[in-house]
Amino acid sequence: MSIVNTSSKGQIVIPAKLRRKYNIEQGTKLNVVDGDGEIILRPVLQDAVKQARGLFRGGQSSLQELMRERKEGSPA
């Protein structure tokens, strides 16, 4: 947990460790959500497909599974 100070304009500095972890750079847009007593900052996905690439790495390939199903034919 990190503690940050707010400026007179309500601005905060997100700690560098968290900026690196969530790939937040200058100009990155964040959603600000009122989370039932919490303020939640969520990076806005610029290119959801690009950012989701590799998310399920290590699992079975969807393409390979689809090709296997087509080769076997659809279930009766």
| Cα distances (Å, whole numbers) of residue 45 to 10, 16, 23 | 24, 20, 11
- The CA distance from 28 to 22, in Å, is 10
What is the chain's mean pLDDT, rounded? 84
- The CA distance from 18 to 24, in Å, is 8
Domain presence at residue 4: yes
**What's the domain range around 6?**
1-47
CATH number for position 28: 2.10.260.10
Domain presence at residue 72: no
Digit-coded pLDDT (tens) for 49-76? 776 777 667 766 778 888 888 888 766 5
Number of compact structural domains in the chain: 1
Q: Residues 8, 38, 1, CA angle at the centre, nearest 5°?
A: 80
Domain presence at residue 63: no
The pTM is what?
A: 0.54
Whether residue 34 is predicted with pLDDT greater than 60 in this model: the reply is yes
Domain presence at residue 54: no
- The CA distance from 41 to 31, in Å, is 6
